[in-house]
Amino acid sequence: MITLEGQTILLTGASRGIGAATARLILEAGGNLVGSYQTGLGALSQLAAEYGPARVKAIQIDLGTPGAGKRLWQEALAFKGRLDGLVNNAGIAPETPIDAPDGDWAVDWARVIAVNVQAVADLCREAVLTFRAQGGGRIVTVASRAAFRGDTPECLHYAASKGALVALMRSIARGYAREGIYGFIIAPGWVKTDMATGIYEPGNEYKLQEIPMGDAAPPEDVGNMIAFLLTGKVDNATGATFDINGASYVR
């Protein structure tokens, strides 16, 4: 049985998709949740109603703004006075063609790096500093199969940002394991979320055909892996990448 009893977890992008599924699994396992969101509360509203303010804290923040990662960590830490785990789930993937106007290209790349890389790096930095002082902790970061096999030409920035996260987490795992700080990478393919609705549109059948299992993964598959890694039952897997893609990319 997976249990996170007594743990408090900070989860970014917790209002929908993979984040919402993971948030519920953390709470069902007995953990306390600090969930960030950018616009609407989404699933966090229902979870707060079910589990109450002693178990759930929602924080609105734009992770693309300078210093957002540190501000989020400090506010989350104040909830219970301790954080045991960090889940970096929030991310963006605008479509930016190679022939886009220079201004659009620059804005999109800057925004993707700010949200997908800089905010994650800042959160990881705060986590390591906090975990060092308290004797350990765990970080799970959601990357993508795109970090390993690449992505479409419209999402060069997304693939690059996810590749950066893989290097970041491997470095943290290698650098801080002796201090009880462990880092893990999740690399999903298509997942049944709002971001993946396009794969079901007419003309995109080939995107499903490339998946041997025949369909995108349910977000709970990703959430279950995240929750399991947070339990501490497989800490010797620190630095490892866990692929959840229906065998569409096998290494």
What's the mean pLDDT in 167-176? 98
pTM above 0.75, yes or no: yes
What pLDDT does residue 55 have? Answer: 98
Does any domain span residue 16?
yes
Does any domain span residue 196?
yes
What pLDDT does residue 200 have? Answer: 64
Instruction: Enter the tokens of residue 209.
Output: 């055909």
Domain extent, residue 82, equals 8-244
Task: Quote the DSSP letter at residue 116.
Answer: I
Does any domain span residue 165?
yes
Does any domain span residue 251?
no
Distance between CA atoms of 116 and 101, rounded to whole angstroms?
22
Is residue 1 classed as helix, strand or coil in its secondary structure? coil
Note the pLDDT tens digit of each residue in 211-243.
Answer: 887 778 899 999 999 999 999 999 999 999 999
What pLDDT does residue 201 have? Answer: 64
Q: How many domains are contained in the chain?
A: 1
What does each C-alpha distance from 45 to 22, 53, 64, 179 come to in angstroms?
15, 11, 23, 36
Does any domain span residue 157?
yes
Note the pLDDT tens digit of each residue in 92-142.
Answer: 999 999 999 999 999 999 999 999 999 999 999 999 999 999 999 999 999
Instruction: Enter the tokens of residue 41.
Output: 């509360």
What pLDDT does residue 198 have? Answer: 67
Does any domain span residue 225?
yes
Does any domain span residue 2?
no
Percent with pLDDT over 70 in the chain? 95
* Active-site residue, 158 included: yes
109: CATH? 3.40.50.720
Q: Please pick, among 37, 158, 176, 182, the residue that the annotation labels catalytic.
A: 158
Does any domain span residue 250?
no
Mean pLDDT score of the chain = 94
